[in-house]
C-alpha cells in the first residue's frame, strides 16, 4: 500500500509539515460547504492506499469533527486500503464521564462515530483522558508531546524550579515532565465551577521563592492556568512562571487572562492551527516530527513504543 497524508481544512500547515518530513505529498481534500452549512468533502485517488487523515478537532469543534467523519467515509468509499484518523487534539475528550444526571458522555459518542465512519485506527496526542483508548473498539495510538516540550524547556530550567500540576488530573503529566527535567512536583487542588470558571483551592508542596513550571494537557479558556498561577504567587512562588501545555486553544478570554500574568515563557505545540497568531508571546514546539515518525513506523508496521504516552 502507498503511504498518503491527507487533510481537510482543520490544519493544512501541520499536514504539510508531516508530509515534508516523510518526503510525501499532501493530499488536500476539497471541502465544499453548502449554503445551509452542510459540508461535502471529496477525497479521490486513494484506492488501495494507506491513508492518514490529519485533522485535529479544535474550534470550531463540531465542524472539524463532522468534516473528519466525512473525510474518513470519503476515503473508505474511494477504496482506500487502510484509513488512520490522525487527530492530534481530540475534541470532546473532556466528556469522559457524567458529572450529573442527564449529561451525555461526549467522548464515547465521538469514538463510536469515528469508528463507524470507517477509520481502522486513531492516532492522538496527549488526550485529556486516558480512558479515551478504552472507548474505541479500533486500535488507538496515544502519542505524547511531553518529551518534545521538555526539550524546549530544558535549557532555561534551574534546579530550584518545581513542576506544577494545576489540577489532580494533570498529576501524571506533571510527573513525566518532572522526571525528564529532574525536578519535583507540586499539586494544585482545583474545583471547576463551570466551563470558564475554576477555583484553585489548595497547594500541596512548597513553592516559596522558587520558579514554577505549570504543565497541562490543554489551555482552553485559561481559567485553570490563571487560578493556578495566582495561587502559586499567593504562596510565594517567584513571579516568573513558565507555562507549558500540549494543546493551546486560547478561547474566550484566555488571551486577556494569560496576558495579565507574570509569565516568563508560554510553550504550546502546533497541534492546533493558528496557535502563534494569538496576541501572546507563545513559543511553539512542533509535533510534526513526532507525527511523521509515528506515521512512518505505523505504515511500515514497526513498533512505536517510545513515542507513546497518555494523559
Ligand atoms: C481539565 O481538567 C484540563 O486538563 C485543563 O486543565 C482544562 O481543560 C483547561 O481548560 P481552561 O483553560 O478552560 O481552564
Given this chain, do its domains 3-145+288-307 and 146-285 carry the same CATH topology?
yes
**How high is the mean pLDDT of the chain?**
95
pTM flag (> 0.85) = yes
Q: Pairing between strand 82-87 and 140-143?
A: unpaired
Concatenate the DSSP letters of all residues of 14-31 into one string.
Answer: HHHHHHHHHT--EEE-EE
Q: Exactly one of 94, 190, 247, 299 is catalytic; which is it?
A: 190
CATH topology of domain 3-145+288-307: Rossmann fold (3.40.50)
User: How far does residue 25's CA lie from ligand 1's centre (Å)?
Assistant: 35
**226 CA to middle of ligand 1, Å?**
11
Residues 223, 66: Cα–Cα separation, whole Å: 28
C-alpha cell at 11: 490544519
For the chain, the straight-line distance linking the first and the last C-alpha, in angstroms and rounded, comes to: 32
Please report the pLDDT score of residue 101 as a whole number.
Answer: 95
Q: Would residue 172 show up in a list of annotated catalytic residues for this protein?
A: no
Rounded mean pLDDT of 215-229? Answer: 97
Question: Quick check: 280 pLDDT over 90?
Answer: no
Q: Is the dihedral of CA 280, 199, 181, 307 positive or negative?
A: negative
Do the Cβ atoms of 225 and 258 come closer than 8 Å?
Answer: yes
CA–CA distance from 262 to each of 150, 266, 303 (Å)?
21, 11, 42
Q: 169 CA to middle of ligand 1, Å?
A: 10
Q: What is the CA radius of gyration of the chain?
A: 20
pLDDT at 203 over 90: yes
The verdict on domain 146-285 having CATH code 3.40.50.620 is no
pLDDT of residue 311: 47
Return the pLDDT at 309: 84
pLDDT in tens, 11-40: 999 999 999 999 999 999 899 999 999 999
Average pLDDT for 67-94: 97
Domain ranges of the chain: 3-145+288-307, 146-285
pLDDT for res 310: 54
pLDDT beyond 60 at 57: yes
Contact 93, 142 (CB under 8 A): no
Ligand 1, pocket-test mutation among 61, 189, 194, 217, most atoms within 8 A of CB: 217
Which atom of ligand 1 is found nearest the CA of 196?
A: 13
Average pLDDT on 34-63 reads 96
Q: Can you give the pLDDT at residue 195?
A: 77
Write the pLDDT tens digit of every residue in 102-113: 999 999 999 999
Average pLDDT (215-220) is: 97
The pLDDT score that the predictor gives to residue 192 is 85
Residue 30 C-alpha cell reads as 476539497
Amino acid at each position: 500500500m502507498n503511504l498518503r497524508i491527507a487533510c481537510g481544512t482543520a490544519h493544512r500547515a501541520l499536514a504539510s509539515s508531516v508530509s515534508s518530513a516523510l518526503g510525501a505529498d499532501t493530499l488536500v481534500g476539497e471541502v465544499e460547504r453548502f449554503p445551509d452549512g452542510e459540508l461535502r468533502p471529496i477525497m479521490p485517488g486513494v484506492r488501495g492506499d494507506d491513508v492518514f487523515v490529519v485533522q485535529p478537532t479544535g474550534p470550531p469543534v463540531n465542524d472539524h469533527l463532522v468534516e473528519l467523519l466525512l473525510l474518513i467515509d470519503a476515503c473508505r468509499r474511494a477504496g482506500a486500503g487502510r484509513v488512520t484518523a490522525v487527530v492530534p487534539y481530540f475534541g470532546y475528550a473532556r466528556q469522559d464521564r457524567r458529572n450529573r444526571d442527564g449529561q451525555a458522555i461526549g467522548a464515547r459518542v465521538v469514538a463510536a462515530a469515528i469508528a463507524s465512519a470507517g477509520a481502522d485506527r486513531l492516532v492522538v496526542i496527549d488526550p485529556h483522558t486516558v480512558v479515551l483508548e478504552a472507548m474505541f473498539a479500533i486500535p488507538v495510538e496515544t502519542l505524547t508531546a511531553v518529551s518534545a516540550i521538555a526539550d524546549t524547556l530544558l535549557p532555561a530550567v534551574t534546579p530550584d524550579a518545581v513542576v506544577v500540576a494545576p489540577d489532580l488530573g494533570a498529576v501524571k503529566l506533571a510527573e513525566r515532565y518532572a522526571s525528564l527535567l529532574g525536578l519535583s512536583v507540586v499539586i494544585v487542588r482545583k474545583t471547576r465551577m463551570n466551563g470558564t470558571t475554576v477555583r484553585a483551592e489548595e497547594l500541596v508542596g512548597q513553592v516559596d521563592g522558587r520558579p514554577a513550571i505549570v504543565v497541562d494537557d490543554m489551555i482552553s479558556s485559561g481559567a485553570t492556568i490563571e487560578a493556578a498561577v495566582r495561587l502559586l504567587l499567593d504562596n510565594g512562588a517567584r513571579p516568573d512562571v513558565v507555562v507549558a501545555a500540549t494543546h493551546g486553544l486560547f478561547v474566550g478570554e484566555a488571551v486577556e487572562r494569560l496576558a495579565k500574568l507574570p509569565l516568563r515563557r508560554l510553550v504550546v505545540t502546533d497541534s492546533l492551527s493558528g496557535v502563534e497568531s494569538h496576541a501572546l508571546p507563545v513559543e511553539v514546539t512542533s509535533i510534526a516530527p513526532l507525527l511523521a515518525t509515528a506515521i512512518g513506523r505505523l505504515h511500515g508496521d514497526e513498533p512505536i513504543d517510545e513515542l507513546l504516552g497518555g494523559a
